[in-house]
Structure 1
Amino acid sequence: MSDVELVTEPSQAKQTTDYIVVSGDTLWKIASKFNTTSSEIVTLNNLDPNKYLYVGQKLKVPASAAQPEQQAATTYSVVSGDTLWKIAQKFGVTTQAIVDANKLNPSAYLYVGQKLIIPSVAQPEQPTQTTYVVVSGDTLLKIAQKFAVTTQAIVDANKLVPTAYLYIGQKLIIPSVAQPEQPTQTTYVVVSGDSLWKIAQKFAVTTQAIVDANKLQPTAYLYIGQKLIIPSKQ
């Protein structure tokens, strides 16, 4: 009886691909992305299953026909006035996501020019913007009310100092999605005995609203025949 030599076929090495851990990942989530099991990822990487994954950690995962869609990340340079909260709002992510992606101390100060990884899938939605030219009597509050946005939104969009004075002809970016709603206006002709207070009472508006709409001095006298814009009808 002749000896038969048994040849064992070497087991084919499992094809793998590299995956970078992003904020919010767990073994279970990654396994689901790659249609595998948590235990297989643990084995491939000699992981301790009781230890947490960390952002930026490189893992070997089984290569599959359809690779998971990688989470898009963008790099953002900090500008004056930025806070973690403002940046998170701009990119539609949480402050914790930015903290995790950059291994930051949540209480640490940001500095101008600091580069941050924003672990967002999509780029921040750019709001519809309009340009407004400052006219006499304008204030941040008045412009904000006109466009139904906050004064802070205008300050941020234009990198203004909140206490800075506006000047006539200054162009401001208004980061509003919709155009400002135009108030219903009517024209009123002043008659004998009229006062700002009486006209305001007649049209159920404030005297300040009439002053602003007509760019009047609050102490100015009205004259018979004077035409006034009444900015809203109640």
Structure 2
Amino acid sequence: MLWRLKYMITHVIKEGENLWGISQKYGVPVQMIMKQNNLTSRIIYIGQTLIIPTMEQIHIVKSGDTLYDISQTYGISVKELMKTNNLTNTVIYVGQKLIIPKKGEWYIVQSGDTLFAISRRYGVSVQDIVDANNLSDVGYIYVGQTLYIPPSSEPSQPTEPPEVNVYIVKPGDSLNSISIQYNVPIDTLIIINNISDPDNIYIGQMLIVPIVPETGEYHIVVPGDTLTKIAEYYTVNRSELMRINGLTDPNKIRVGQVLMLPPPVSV
């Protein structure tokens, strides 16, 4: 199968539209639309043409293929397949390129991330991520970068649960409502998302929201944290802190990561 990042889909702004609605229509984060169109604000106007970055998975028809077989392979319906490719009947031919509706998701790169670690988390290969995002330098990704993660073509394997949610701000949201919904202190949301004005979050903004446990004591990693500092602050044993959180490298913790805390040591 082939993945490609197609930047030539255009959208002409109509009355009543905003970036949030457009991002929802195409399944693309607001930040990516702004970056692709060099927008410095969320102000758009009627008649403006935007370039929408979209992901396409391409299937090249082989001898013996039918739309039904292809739909079963990718877990979609024949109707979806026909609609996406503007097909009026089920006749296809060898060598024909069919667009498969995307089933992957977006991921925001965090401090300490590598392509290998991200690929392990989502059960896809590094090459799949590289191809899907047209990355020229496999060793270079940066904090805040938005990557498209294609769905795994392999059978599902148990993977580590994600340590954070990526939450997209909706109309009516505030930091207070988000902190209540996810049981994360507002101050923590401000720090890990580098928010300068807590009263000014915008529709379509992507926020890192830690997944906190229902029981037990825990610490949410913020910029500048180290395992040594955390252990000293809570008066816990650093080795035990690593053990209960399944850490093998004391230098690899990330902003927003939730660490369970062992019982404090006696002084």
Q: Which TM class, normalised by the smaller chain length?
A: 0.3 to 0.5
Q: TM-score, normalised by structure 2?
A: 0.34
Q: TM-score, normalised by structure 1?
A: 0.38
Bigger strand share: 2
